[in-house]
Amino acid sequence: MWRTVLDKMLRKLVVTGRLNLTWPDGTTESYGPGGDLEADVALADDGIVRELGQRPVLALGEGYMDGRIVVAPEQVYDFVALLVRNQQMGEMPKWFNIVQAVRGWTRGIEQRNNPLRSQRNVQHHYDISDDLYRIFLDSDMQYSCAYFTRPGMTLEEAQKAKKDHIARKLLIKPGMRVLDIGCGWGGMALTLARDYGAHVTGVTLSENQLATAQARAEAEGVADKVDFRLLDYRKIDETFDRIVSVGMLEHVGYPHLDEYFAKVDELLAKDGVSLIHSIGHVSEPAATSMWIDKYIFPGGYIPSLSEVSAAIERTGLWATDVEVLRGHYGTTLHHWRDRFEAALDQIRGMYDETFIRMWRFYLVVCEAAFEETFQGVFHLQLAHRQYAVPTTRDYLYSPGAADALMHAAQ
């Protein structure tokens, strides 16, 4: 029965590329017209056939993790990208679309992230081991989208370009007080303190990240300019000249978008500027992948542009600039995946094969999402005053332009 169900699903779904599937009894079928993406996949037992027919998104990830969906490591990206691309073009069962719609309608209930739950969610992902992240991230441990301003950039160069791009949007000057919401391992805060002369308060809910960030501040001689805290952003009660947040909004959860932007509004000085860097949908709101929510980012939610815009509109903030970075995160993830695969011998000394397949699948799924769906990165520049920043983007690319444009706006 379930083989018939899955067979019918795949015949309607795969309308481009080709999926060559080996069933548990050894027989093979091909789906799709061919050309472009192609992958060879085997299903090890009848149980995974049933699960794929019942809950395809969750079963796809779990089946690959536990080895019941067999695909060569070098074909995993093509396999996942093939399915993601066809999901945008082919026909999913009506029941699947109904389930997705219901999950979208109930996201306000599923993602109520109070401070305690938020800390547990963050620690689930970030407190596994800094050593793992050091393996595949750049030397500054930037765990967010890099900014590839020219072809052939290294990951290190692109991550530095990202930080400098953000700093220019913040119009950082020496002595300014900056809040870094979700400071990670401290790279952004350290850059603003070391290279721009700011005094930075960084907050995180990860004990591992806090310890690493503090140690880095001491090692780089800027501990007097950087204050890292294990603290929920909602408990901060100070005022800052600048607020930056890179890759944290995705952990807030849909019900808390208003709360998040209201807090930015509250903490930002009258003449202040904020820059929020976040993954986002440039399409209708969509529910979080069940597999991602269960295994990778519990409580996470990628907002749509309409959702963040509505939340900002309910504050006293100007959206002084909104930039959508396209084509950067897929490349970033490809760099991470290459580094992860190149270090498998080292990683096998730390984790078992199930974890390795889980992490590979995570990196692949995310890369495919950025390359095949309407998903990008938002740069939301916010201020209380419309003239808190220059009225054109020239200042981002022309040295000295910011001061001239700011003077003209006064």
Residues forming a β-bridge with 382 = 274, 319
Tokens representing 287?
Answer: 């529910």
Residue type, 240: F
Counting beta carbons within 10 angstroms of the beta carbon of residue 66, is it exposed (0 to 12), middle (13 to 18) or buried (19 or more)?
middle
CA 261 and chain centroid, separation = 19
Determine the Cα–Cα distance for residues 145 and 159; give it in Å rounded to an integer.
8
* Residues contacting 11, CB < 8 A, separation 6+: 31
Say how many CA atoms lie within 13 Å of 394 toward its Cβ: 10
Determine the Cα–Cα distance for residues 79 and 83; give it in Å rounded to an integer.
7
Q: What are phi and psi of 220, to 5 degrees?
A: -90, 0
Are 22 and 10 in contact, with CB atoms under 8 Å apart?
Answer: no
**Intra-chain end-to-end CA distance of the chain, in Å:** 72
* Residues contacting 102, CB < 8 A, separation 6+: none
How many other CB atoms are there within 10 angstroms of residue 154's CB atom? 12
CA 210 and chain centroid, separation = 20
Nearest to 406 by CA among 276, 273, 277: 273
Considering the candidates 52, 146, 203, 366, report the single residue annotated as catalytic.
Answer: 366
* Residues contacting 337, CB < 8 A, separation 6+: 77, 136, 360, 363, 364, 367
> Reduced to 3 DSSP states, what percent helix, strand and coil does the chain have, rounded to the nearest 5?
50, 20, 30
Residue 145 bears catalytic tag? no
Residues taking part in catalysis: 366
